[in-house]
Amino acid sequence: MNRILLVLVAALALSLPALADEGAAAAQKAKLITAAQAELGVPANGTMTPETRAAVKRFQQSKGMAATGELDERTITALGLDGPKPKPAAGATAQAKPTTPIGPAQSSAERTAEPAAKPAAPTGERPN
């Protein structure tokens, strides 16, 4: 009895990583389908619906590809879903930085060259 239980436990333990891999693969596939649905303008739900297949076929035809309705490698690449988005080119920034430093980033020579503000009346004295 103990041997049978031990064999069953060992079989279950060996199959758990395979089940985890299948779950991860299914989640990845659902993410890919959702991204394709968003690109194609169909309701995104992560499953290959008839509407999604029709949109994929139309896309494939527009690109001169075989209209299979399947998200194969070529279609995924054509949709731009085959990898991370490219980084912006060097020198291209989202926000322009000022060319002249302001505040403490200025050199001490720049700060000393600025005229000092003089109060209208000396500090601590009352005007007459």
> What Å distances lie between residue 80 and 23, 33, 57, 67, 115, CA to CA?
25, 13, 16, 18, 56
pLDDT in tens, 73-128: 899 899 988 766 556 656 555 566 656 655 565 556 655 565 666 666 666 666 66
Whole-angstrom Cα distance, residue 117 to residue 127? 18
Token pair 């394709």: residue: 36
Model pLDDT, residue 56: 92
Model pLDDT, residue 28: 87
Token pair listed for 25 = 């693969």
pLDDT in tens, 24-47: 888 888 888 999 999 899 998 989
What are the structural domains, with CATH classification, of the chain? 2-83 (1.10.101)
- The pTM for the full model equals 0.50
Model pLDDT, residue 81: 85
Model pLDDT, residue 60: 93
Mean pLDDT of the region 13-24: 64
In the three-class reduction of DSSP (H, G, I as helix; E, B as strand; rest coil), residue 60 is classed as helix
